[in-house]
Amino acid sequence: MNLTIYLPGLLEARGASAGEHPIAHAAALQLRRFLAKASSTPLDPGDAGFMQPLPGAAGLAAKAHGLPAGHWLCASPVELSADHRGIYLLGNESLALSDVEVAALAASLNAFLAEDGLQLYAPEAHHWYLRGDAPIALETTPLAQVLGKDIAAYQPGGADARHWQRLATELAMLLHGHPVNEARRADGRATVAGLWLWGEGEGSLPAPARAVYSDEAAVRGWTGGAVLSEAEGLWRGGFAGDAAVHSAALARAMREGDVAVWLARVAEWDALRFGPALAALAQGRLAELRLLPGNGRQYRLRSSDLRKFWRRPKPLTHYLGDAS
């Protein structure tokens, strides 16, 4: 069996203004051992769909959730922050919306959207989708690429841009005065300031021919894969047939600046997944382990590579960016 692990956000370089990379504070002994003995090459083009937002992400995610056919947009609930320089998108993980809050917000939004022939679906607390019957002529920017940035530079384009900009403004006004937000505001909690619309179009990338497990609905819709939690059997010794495991959780935590969550997830991956995978490799139950950590490289390790004692572990900061 060959196992590929896609972890965008693990070793992705940050701008100088972002300060020290948190990988400098991660022990991650198993990861260091793996990287020291693995061979490194540039990414394969066929891996792009796992490492960056997918074309047609909304429709792919809707497919993964079993939602009806139609024309789709991701309608991500987001928190915003404003100052004299602009309005900045902070993301949505920190909102920690409850099921009751999501249901109340979705009900009000759907009552408003019905006039435009649209329907909002909220299968997960922070992943919402808009469905319409008519094609959507819109050019948008994925949420992940706007986090922490002034939204003025990322307004949608396309033939329908004016209509959707007006609708987004109206939805933001509705959300501002919604009882859910009023209660959160009174408690000093972050509020849902608006919906970030993105992910239009059709998925066009060919799907990989292997089992895939992912925590991203769009990736599951693209590959026909299973949720990431179903991969836990792999780490308990169930290696059989080629498989790929994908998680965007590190990338989300990094982009939202949640270093504590990022470090906790790196430690979890190191102890509960890299450790068992390296043991399986040493025992011959795994033929090859491949890692794509978001630094523009891919790392391959076979059991014979484990005997290369002269390859000593290096600081994880060595691998940031395009280092090999």
pLDDT at res. 17: 54
Same domain, 32 and 75: no
User: Is position 324 within any domain?
Assistant: no
Read off the pLDDT of residues 199-252 as tens digits, 9 standing for 90 and up.
998 877 777 878 899 999 999 999 999 999 888 877 776 667 789 999 999 998
Same domain, 117 and 151: yes
Same domain, 254 and 312: yes
pLDDT at res. 235: 76
Same domain, 63 and 143: yes
Same domain, 174 and 253: no
pLDDT at res. 1: 85
* Residue whose entry in the numeric block shows the structure tokens 């989708």: 129
Mean of pLDDT values over 76-85: 94
Is residue 324 predicted with pLDDT exceeding 50? no
pLDDT at res. 307: 85
Kindly report the average pLDDT of the chain as a whole number: 91
Same domain, 159 and 232: no
Read off the pLDDT of residues 5-41 as tens digits, 9 standing for 90 and up.
999 999 987 765 567 899 999 989 999 999 999 999 9
pLDDT at res. 219: 94
pLDDT at res. 20: 84
pLDDT > 90 in the chain, percent: 70
Same domain, 191 and 299: no
Q: How many domains does the chain have?
A: 2
Is residue 323 predicted with pLDDT exceeding 50? no
Distances (CA, A) of 186 to 92, 181, 183, 281: 19, 8, 5, 54
Same domain, 101 and 214: no
Give the per-residue SS3 of the chain: CEEEEECCCCCCCCCHHHCCCHHHHCCCHHHHHHHHHCEEEECCHHHHHHHCCCCCHHHHHHHHCCCCCCEEEEEEEEEEEEECCEEEEEECHHHCCCHHHHHHHHHHHHHHHHHHCEEEEEEECCEEEEEECCCCCCECCCHHHCCCCEHHHHCCECCCHHHHHHHHHHHHHHHHCCHHHHHHHHCCCCCCCEEEEECCCCCCCCCCCCEEEECCHHHHHHHCCEEHHHHHHHHCCCCCCCEEEECCHHHHHHHCCCHHHHHHHHHHHHHHHHHHHHHHHHCCCCCEEEEECCCCEEEEEEHHHHHCCCCCCCCHHHHCCCCC
Same domain, 64 and 168: yes
Rg of the Cα atoms in the chain? 21
Same domain, 50 and 70: no
Look up the pTM and report it: 0.89
Same domain, 124 and 77: yes
Dist. CA 206–CA 72, nearest whole Å? 20
Q: If pLDDT is split at 50, 70 and 90, which confidence band does 256 have?
A: confident
Dist. CA 182–CA 203, nearest whole Å? 38
Of the given ranges (153-162, 228-237, 275-284, 302-311), which has the lowest mean pLDDT?
228-237
Read off the pLDDT of residues 97-121 as tens digits, 9 standing for 90 and up.
999 999 999 999 999 999 999 999 9
Q: If pLDDT is split at 50, 70 and 90, which confidence band does 322 have?
A: low
Mean of pLDDT values over 280-303: 92
Same domain, 217 and 175: no
Dist. CA 318–CA 230, nearest whole Å? 33
**Start-to-end CA span in the chain (Å):** 25
Mean of pLDDT values over 279-291: 91
Mean of pLDDT values over 57-83: 95
pLDDT at res. 18: 60
Residues spanned by the domain of 238: 2-54+207-319
